[in-house]
């Protein structure tokens, strides 16, 4: 988060400006390893702020990672509670929280409407429901001509196929960001607002992104692309999205080769000034009042 300090700042300012900082209790649904609960919720705890910050997820493994992140460094009064539960059946009484958030969660569900109705149920009157979701269909990209690569334009084809494939195979909607106001309206919320941020700008020349972070991000992507189980699943989604398996495998091989080349360049301390291709996906934060 160090090289992307605008992300927690964006959440903090958007959520605080709407709620005026008066948040009696926060629930983060589909919290995973605790991104939002930790970066936003922890700051609310203690000193007369929120009485309780809770993260809920269906995955015990993710919750364990979230608890490990809390660690011993955080004082007991500032610790987030993590509870295993299904978002469709939240184990809380009606009106239990002043703010109910979620991030990159609704896009994974077959019935985001149902989850939002449940989030609204546990939100108190005059409290807020605030989901954050990306819109993969609203991405922006640019490749300088002289780079001589088709990587980004092929990346666009792949991303579009992944959107179609996820919808077809799993009923998921990675373009859900643009639907958030309508979904909040359907969940019975009012005074709806929406703000956006480019949370994932893949612009390696960004001088805030250190060479070391780029190396570890690229190395992780390369590891994922070399993981057979992971790539087989990815290929399955892309085939469902309309691409041929042979084309995808060639694309993945090219991508791996380019990534390996970039890693070598980064490790040899050659300048990253020439790395000016741009690829970014917007995230939308919508808020509705109960």
Ligand X SMILES: C[S@@+](CC[C@H](N)C(=O)[O-])C[C@H]1O[C@@H](n2cnc3c(N)ncnc32)[C@H](O)[C@@H]1O
- Contact residues toward ligand X (CB under 6 A) are 30-32, 35-36, 57-59, 62, 86-88, 103-105, 108
Nearest C-alpha neighbor of 187 from the set 284, 113, 247, 278: 113
For 125-210, where are the alpha helices, taking DSSP H only? 151-170, 180-186
Query: Looking at beta carbons only, is 6 or 278 nearer to ligand X?
Result: 6
CB of 283 to ligand X, least distance (A): 10
CB of 28 to ligand X, least distance (A): 7
CB of 61 to ligand X, least distance (A): 8
Query: Looking at beta carbons only, is 34 or 155 nearer to ligand X?
Result: 34
The whole-angstrom separation of Cα 34 and Cα 49 is: 19
Angle between helix 228-240 and 245-267 (nearest 10): 130
Query: Looking at beta carbons only, is 62 or 143 nearer to ligand X?
Result: 62
Nearest C-alpha neighbor of 128 from the set 44, 78, 82, 187: 187
Instruction: Give the residue at shortest CB distance from ligand X.
Output: 32
CB of 261 to ligand X, least distance (A): 30
Nearest C-alpha neighbor of 129 from the set 112, 143, 149, 111: 112
The whole-angstrom separation of Cα 174 and Cα 160 is: 10
The H or E element containing residue 53 is strand 52-57
Query: Looking at beta carbons only, is 55 or 155 nearer to ligand X?
Result: 55
CB of 87 to ligand X, least distance (A): 3
The whole-angstrom separation of Cα 160 and Cα 290 is: 35
Nearest C-alpha neighbor of 201 from the set 147, 278, 277: 278
CB of 279 to ligand X, least distance (A): 19
CB of 17 to ligand X, least distance (A): 21
Token duo for residue 207: 């001088």
Q: Contact, 166 vs 174, CB < 8 A? A: yes
Query: Looking at beta carbons only, is 46 or 91 nearer to ligand X?
Result: 91
Query: Looking at beta carbons only, is 69 or 151 nearer to ligand X?
Result: 69
The whole-angstrom separation of Cα 190 and Cα 145 is: 47
Query: Looking at beta carbons only, is 30 or 204 nearer to ligand X?
Result: 30
């Amino acid at each position: 988060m160090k090289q992307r300090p605008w992300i927690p700042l964006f959440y903090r300012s958007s959520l605080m400006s709407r709620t005026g900082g008066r948040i009696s209790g926060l629930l983060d649904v589909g919290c995973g390893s605790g991104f939002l609960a930790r970066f936003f919720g922890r700051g609310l705890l203690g000193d007369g702020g929120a009485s309780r910050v809770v993260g809920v997820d269906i995955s015990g493994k993710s919750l364990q990672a979230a608890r490990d992140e809390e660690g011993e460094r955080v004082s007991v009064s500032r610790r987030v509670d993590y509870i295993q539960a299904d978002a469709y059946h939240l184990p809380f009484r009606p009106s239990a929280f002043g703010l109910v958030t979620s991030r990159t969660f609704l896009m994974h569900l077959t019935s985001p409407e149902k989850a939002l109705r449940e989030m609204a149920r546990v939100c108190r009157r005059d409290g807020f429901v605030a989901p954050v979701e990306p819109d993969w269909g609203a991405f922006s990209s640019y490749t300088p001509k002289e780079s001589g690569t088709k990587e980004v334009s092929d990346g666009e084809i792949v991303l579009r196929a992944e959107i179609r494939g996820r919808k077809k195979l799993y009923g998921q909607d990675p373009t859900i960001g643009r639907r958030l106001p309508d979904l909040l309206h359907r969940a019975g919320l009012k005074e709806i607002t929406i703000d956006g941020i480019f949370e994932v700008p893949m612009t390696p020349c960004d001088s805030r992104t250190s060479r070391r972070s780029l190396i570890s991000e690229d190395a992780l992507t390369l590891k994922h692309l070399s993981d057979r189980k992971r790539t087989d699943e990815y290929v399955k989604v892309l085939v469902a999205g309309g691409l041929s398996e042979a084309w995808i495998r060639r694309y993945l091989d090219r991508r791996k080769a380019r990534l390996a080349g970039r890693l070598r360049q980064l490790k040899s301390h050659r300048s990253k000034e020439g790395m000016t291709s741009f690829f970014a996906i917007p995230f939308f934060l919508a808020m509705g009042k109960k």
